[in-house]
């Protein structure tokens, strides 16, 4: 059983993505699209302080290729 997802906002997710080597490539409305050197793409709905829905956060974690535990570890390290 995987651990419970943390309650995070988009800014916190972006900090983790940037730690992992993702760079902002473009923005479409409130959605920011990040890519890394391998070509993985992650879309983050960016609304300053609004908490991301757990399903959206889970999708972002899957897109990065991390496990939930690894994501939480990176979150605590920031």
pLDDT single digits (tens) 26-66: 999 999 999 999 999 999 999 878 999 999 999 999 999 99
Helix (H) or strand (E) run with residue 61 in it? helix 54-64
Beta bridge partners of 41: 35
Say what the pLDDT of residue 1 is.
58
Residue 73 has pLDDT above 80, yes or no: yes
Say what the pLDDT of residue 3 is.
77
pTM, two decimals, is 0.90
Say what the pLDDT of residue 63 is.
96
Q: Are 43 and 31 in contact (CB under 8 A)?
A: yes
């Amino acid at each position: 059983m995987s651990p419970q997802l943390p309650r995070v906002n988009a800014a916190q997710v972006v900090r983790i993505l940037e730690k992992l080597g993702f760079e902002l490539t473009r923005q479409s409305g409130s959605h920011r699209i990040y890519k890394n050197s391998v070509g993985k793409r992650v879309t983050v709905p960016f609304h300053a302080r609004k908490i991301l829905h757990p399903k959206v956060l889970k999708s972002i974690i899957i897109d990065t290729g991390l496990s939930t535990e690894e994501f939480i570890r990176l979150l605590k390290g920031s």
